[in-house]
Structure 1
Amino acid sequence: MKLILSTSNIMSSGQPIVRRPLFSKSNIELINSLRSNFASFQHHSSSIASSQRLDYGQWSTQEDDSLYVPTWQPTPLSEPRDSYDVTVKLFFLPGVPSSRRCKHTREAIDLVLKELGIENIDLLIVSYPGVTFDADDEEDVSADEDESADSDESEGLDAQVRTWRVLESLHDQGVISQLGVSEFSSQRLSKFLPEVQVRPTVDQINVKDCCVVPKSLIMYAKENKIELLTHADCMDILPPGTTRELLGPGKDGAGILAANAEVRPEEPGLKGDIEPQWVVKYTAVVKNRGVIENKGYFALAQLGSCIEEKPVASA
C-alpha cells in the first residue's frame, strides 16, 4: 500500500508551524506541517466521534492501493496562472533504487499540479540522495563524492543522468519550464552538463554559517548561465524512523501504523515495514507582490506486507 502524506497549504494553516532556524539544515517544517494537518483533520472529525481516539479511516481516504493521509483536498490558486511563479523541489530519498524515479517523478509532479490547479511548473529543482556541498571542499574533487550505498554515487553519474532524462521529457512537453539541481559543485557540474540535453538553469546550494560562495563555483556558474541560489533543506528529509514515529500510535503519532511492524491481531493499525520513497515541496509566489500564496509538501511512503487491523469500538 502507498501512503500519500500531505501538509495542505501551510500558509493558510490555522495551526502554528515551527519553522527551521536560519542556516540550519532541517526537516522541522515538513514534520510539523504534517502533524499540524493531521491534527486539523482529526479535530474536525472528532466533532461526530466519542472521546476515544479516532480511527484513521474517519479522516483519511483510500483509493485503490493508495491511502491519502489526511483526506486530500486540493487548494487551487486564486488568480490566473500567469500571476504566479511556481517552484517545486523534488527530493529523492536515500536507499531507494534510482530505477523507481521515473514513476516517482510523475507521481510527485501530478500531485502538485492537481493541488494548485495548474498545468505547468516554472522551475523544478531535483535533490539527489547523498549529494552534498561544502564550500571548504570546492577545490577537492574527492570530497565531493559520497560512495555510500545510500547515495547516487554508488551507482555513478549514470543514475543522475537517467533521472534527468525523465525531467527533460517533461520539459519538452511543457510541463516544466526550467530545471535545476541542488548541491552541485563546479566539479560535479562539469561532469554533469556534457551528459544532458536540457541544462540546469539553477544550482541550489547550502552555504553553511554564512560563508562566501567559492569563487570557482561563481565563475563556472556565470560561464554556463546558471543562477546560484541558497537553501537550508535537510538532505535526508524523511527517514524511515521519523516516518514510523509520525504515523505510529505514540503521543505525537497519527495512529495509522501499529506499534509493531509484525502481524499481531490484538494491535490496531496497519502492519508492515514503512519505506519513504520521495518528498516534494512546492511554492507559489504572486509575482507582482512577492507574496507566497501557497506552500506545502507531499510525501510518499510504501508500506510492505500491509495488513489492516482496525480498532474495535467499545460498547
Structure 2
Amino acid sequence: MKLVLSTSNLMKGGGSSVIRRPTTEKSNVELINALRSNFQASQHESTNGSSTNPSNGTTPTTNGYKSWTSEHDGTLYIPAHDFSQPGLSEERSQYDITVKLFYLPGIPVSRRCAHTREAIDLVLKELGVDSIDLLIVSFPGVLFDAEDDSEDEDEATEGEDTGANEGQAEQPDDFDSMVQTWRTLEQLQNEGMISQLGVAEFGSERLARFLAHTDVKPSVDQINLKDCCVVPKSLILYAKQEHIQLLTHNDCNDILPVGTTRELLGPGESGVGILASAPDKQDGIQGDVEPQWVVKYTAVVKDRGVVENKGYFALADIGNCVRTGS
C-alpha cells in the first residue's frame, strides 16, 4: 500500500491570501512541521464536520483516520487531497516553478524511474500545469564539502581514489546509478515536462566526471555550504566554463528518516494514528512503513518575486499491509 503525505500550500495561513514566511528553517524541520500542521487541521475539520469531499475520484470514509484521509487505486492520501482546486492564480507563463526531488537512502535505484514520474505528476496536478521550469535532484549519500574541493587537484587526490574526496563515502556503483537515473530525467525533458535539470552537492571533480556521461548537462548545481560562505574557486571556474549556475540551499540530505515517519504516522501525542499501536492492535494500519521519496515545489511570480505556492509531497510504502476497521 502506498501513502502520499502532503503539506498543502505553505504560503497560505488560514486563508487564501499569499503571505511571506521566513525561509531559514531547515527543510526537514519545515517538512515535518508542515505535515503535522496539515494533518491536525484536517483532523480538526473532520471532527467539526466541515471537511469537504475531494472531487478527484478518491473515496473519503467516516471513522478514525479514514474520516480525514482518502483512498484511490491502493494509495492512501494523507490528508484527503483535492486536485481539482486551482494551484496558481495567474497564467502559467507568469511563474518560475522549481522542484527538488530527494531520493532517499536505502531505496533501490531500480525504483527511481517510477518514483520520478510519480513525484512530478503530483506536482503538476497540484499546481494545475503541464510542465516545470527546473528539476533539481538530490542523490542519497552525496554531501558537498567545500574544504575538499581543493584548487590543487593533485594534492587533494594524492593517495585517494577518484570520486572519494568530496565529503562522501561513495560506493563503487553509486556513480553509475546517478548516470542511470539521469537518463530518466533527460527523457522527461525530451517529453516537455521539464525545461531544465539540476543536481545537488556536486563538487568540480564529480561534476566533470558526470558531464562526460550526459546528453543533457545540468543547468544548475545546488550546494549546501552549511556554516561556510565561500564557494571553492575550482568549482566557480568550472561551473562558469560549463555555463552551470551555482545555487546554495538549506536542505537536509536525509529529509525524511524512517523513524521520523513512524513517529509522525503512529499513535500517541506525536502521531496521527495512521499506523497501529502494536502488532496485535486493530487501531490502525499494520505493516512496516518505508519512506520512498520527498519532493519540494515552489512557484514564484516572476515580475514580483513572490512565492505564491510552496509545498511538499512524500511517498511511503507499507510492507505486509493489513488494514483495520479504524
Q: Same fold (TM over 0.5)?
A: yes
Contact persistence 1:274–1:304 (CA under 8 A)? yes
Q: Which TM-score applies when normalising by structure 2? A: 0.87
Alignment of 1:138-157 (within 5 A): 138-139=149-150, 140=156, 141-144=163-166, 146-147=168-169, 153-157=171-175
Question: Residue 278 in 1 paired to residue 293 in 2?
Answer: yes
Return the offset for 1:252. 2.0
Instruction: Encode CA deviations 1:158-214: one digit per residue, 9 max, x unaligned.
Output: 100110001100111111000000000001101100100000010000012142000
SS at match of 1:133: coil
- What's the counterpart of residue 68 of structure 2? 59
SS at match of 2:212: helix
Match of 2:93 among 70, 77, 82: 82
- What's the counterpart of residue 18 of structure 2? none
Return the offset for 1:157. 1.4
Match of 2:129 among 108, 113, 118: 118
Distance 2:183 2:127 in 1: 25
SS at match of 2:164: helix
Match of 1:170 among 185, 188, 208: 188
Amino acid at match of 2:118: E
Match of 1:103 among 87, 96, 114: 114
SS at match of 1:39: helix
Question: Residue 9 in 1 paired to residue 9 in 2?
Answer: yes
Instruction: Find runs of 4+ consecutive structure 1 residues off by over 3 angstroms.
Output: 19-22, 145-148
Amino acid at match of 1:70: P
- What's the counterpart of residue 48 of structure 2? 47
Instruction: Encode CA deviations 1:23-65: one digit per residue, 9 max, x unaligned.
Output: x75510000000111011111000139xxxx611000001121
Q: Which TM-score applies when normalising by structure 1? A: 0.90
Return the offset for 1:128. 0.3
Distance 1:82 1:240 in 2: 38
Amino acid at match of 1:146: Q
Return the offset for 1:142. 2.7
Return the offset for 1:155. 2.1
Distance 1:208 1:120 in 2: 31
- What's the counterpart of residue 274 of structure 2? 256
- What's the counterpart of residue 127 of structure 1? 138
Question: Residue 235 in 1 paired to residue 253 in 2?
Answer: yes
Return the offset for 1:144. 1.9
SS at match of 1:245: helix
Return the offset for 1:132. 0.4
- What's the counterpart of residue 68 of structure 1? 77
Amino acid at match of 1:36: S
Distance 1:228 1:270 in 2: 44
Gaps spanning 5+ residues in structure 1: where? none
Contact persistence 2:4–2:77 (CA under 8 A)? yes
- What's the counterpart of residue 189 of structure 1? 207
- What's the counterpart of residue 36 of structure 1? 37
Return the offset for 1:154. 4.8
Return the offset for 1:20. 8.3
Q: Which moved more, 1:220-229 or 1:74-83?
A: 74-83
Contact persistence 1:56–1:255 (CA under 8 A)? yes
Contact persistence 2:199–2:222 (CA under 8 A)? yes
Return the offset for 1:238. 0.3
SS at match of 2:230: coil
Match of 1:198 among 216, 219, 227: 216
Indicate how the Cα distance of structure 1 residues 26 and 282 shifts in structure 2: closer, same or farther if over 3 A, else same: closer
Distance 2:32 2:172 in 1: 28
Return the offset for 1:267. 3.5
Return the offset for 1:146. 3.3
**CA RMSD in angstroms, aligned pairs only:** 1.9
Gaps spanning 5+ residues in structure 2: where? 16-20, 51-62, 151-155, 157-162
Contact persistence 2:222–2:249 (CA under 8 A)? yes
- What's the counterpart of residue 297 of structure 1? 312
- What's the counterpart of residue 216 of structure 1? 234
Contact persistence 2:144–2:167 (CA under 8 A)? no
Amino acid at match of 1:98: V
Contact persistence 1:20–1:26 (CA under 8 A)? no
- State the percentage of identical aligned residues: 60
